[in-house]
Amino acid sequence: MITLDQYDFNGKRALIRVDFNVPLDANHQITDDIRIKAAVPTIQKILRDGGSVVLMSHLGRPKNGPEIKFSLRHVVGRLGQLLETDVKFASNCIGDEVLAQCQQLQPGQVLLLENLRFHPQEKEGDPDFAKQLAQLGDVYVNDAFGTAHRAHASTAIIAQYMADKVCGYVIEKELTMIDQVLQNAQAPFTAIMGGAKISDKIKIIDTLLPKVDHLIIGGGMAYTFFKAMGGEVGASLVEKDSIGLAKSLIDQAKEQNTELHLPIDSLIADSFSNDAACEVALNHQIKAGWMGLDIGPQAIEVFTNIVKKSKTILWNGPMGVFELSNFANGTKAIAKAMVEATKNGAFSLVGGGDSAAAVNFMGLADQVTYVSTGGGALLEYVEGKTLPGIAALAQEAIKHD
């Protein structure tokens, strides 16, 4: 796999798959630009070399073709500010007009294409669509780790039609950081798993159990564990189909000599609302009709003490419904404990998705070792799966017209 620093882009038109799938508010203003910022070093390196840049990405989940709320036009202004250059925009991502715009680019110029997913062929991995995209550049650069687990036209299939394929800085750093956690972790190694469902995390938990010293479980998935142990969890989220799975994970942790930490208590509420009545309860004694929406004060104390003493930390998934401010304390406490551990020399990796959103929202992203740009991609890579977008960078160009 060729990395960015191994390739000279002088006189080349680089077609870069970036991940500009950023959140927008009702007025189409960007509310978190971390993914755009992540791509800037790759773009700047190519421009410094004397190349031009064509950027392609998806945004959101459009279902019926072009929709203004999913247009990448909303990204142009912020991208131009970060690059300190004018960014041109193409109102489509394929077609004769777009091809002409790409061919007219001069060294140092940047063109952003419209949302790839306005065409269903992108997600379908359609070869003809990929072939049309491949005509837009001389060299293909993949820097979208967040979609590397998808065999889409722009992330994997396109590589069959381009002789020169290069790994961007984002993907290179993501793989380096994750490999550091998986292969060179310094003990004590703590993994923190949050989120709603055990079934979403079972494979990564299976992979990590033999490697970690501590496995902390928070978020909605914790209540399935307590149900498996015979506890009363009220109206808390429980995956009934995963109760047996929770029991087996408890047994596996014992066999692997891994300390499995479940939250002692929760902040419970009488409804799923920021305005709900709240109180603290032990997690095996939650009263009927009430639900756990965040870890409680005892759990926060236990979990943060473990995190602060760790030398390697991997965090994926919030401790509660952090988007509701009254139930964000557990997630915030974990983030602050990671920052403290990092200051004391720990290697800390925040694993994309909601965890990354929380750390970014708190302004702590630059105080941990690394914040991944990929949620699902990170999970699948840690699980040991081959990511199509990564594998494609190493394959030969096998089809030409």
Q: Which of 37, 73, 123, 197 is catalytic?
A: 197
Active-site annotation holds for 376: yes
Active site residue 197: yes
SS3 60: coil
Cβ neighbours of residue 55 under 8 Å, at least 6 residues apart?
16, 18, 20, 39, 43, 79, 110, 111, 112, 113
Tokens found for residue 231: 């506890």
Q: Is-contact 102 13, C-beta < 8 A?
A: yes
Pair 30, 23: CB distance under 8 Å? yes
Q: Name the active-site residue from 35, 150, 211, 332.
A: 35
Query: Which segments within 271-323 are labelled E, that is strand?
Result: 278-282, 285-286, 291-295, 312-316
SS3 assignment, position 401: coil
353 catalytic per annotation: yes
Active site annotation includes 385? no
List the catalytic residue out of 353, 374, 375, 389.
Answer: 353
Q: Please return the burial class of 35, using the count of CB atoms within 10 Å of its CB with bins 0-12, 13-18 and 19+.
A: buried
Q: Copy the structure tokens of residue 229.
A: 């142990």
Q: Which residues are registered as beta bridge partners of 87? A: 110
The long-range contacts involving 375-378, CB below 8 angstroms and separated by at least 24 positions, are 375/146, 375/316, 375/351, 376/146, 376/149, 376/352, 377/145, 377/146, 377/147, 377/148, 377/149, 377/174, 377/352, 378/145, 378/174, 378/178, 378/316, 378/351, 378/352
Alpha-carbon span 220 to 322, nearest angstrom: 12
Q: How far is CA 325 from CA 274, 329, 389, in A?
A: 7, 8, 36
Distance, C-alpha 302 to centroid of its chain: 27
Q: Considering the candidates 60, 80, 231, 376, report the single residue annotated as catalytic.
A: 376
Catalytic residues: 35, 197, 353, 376
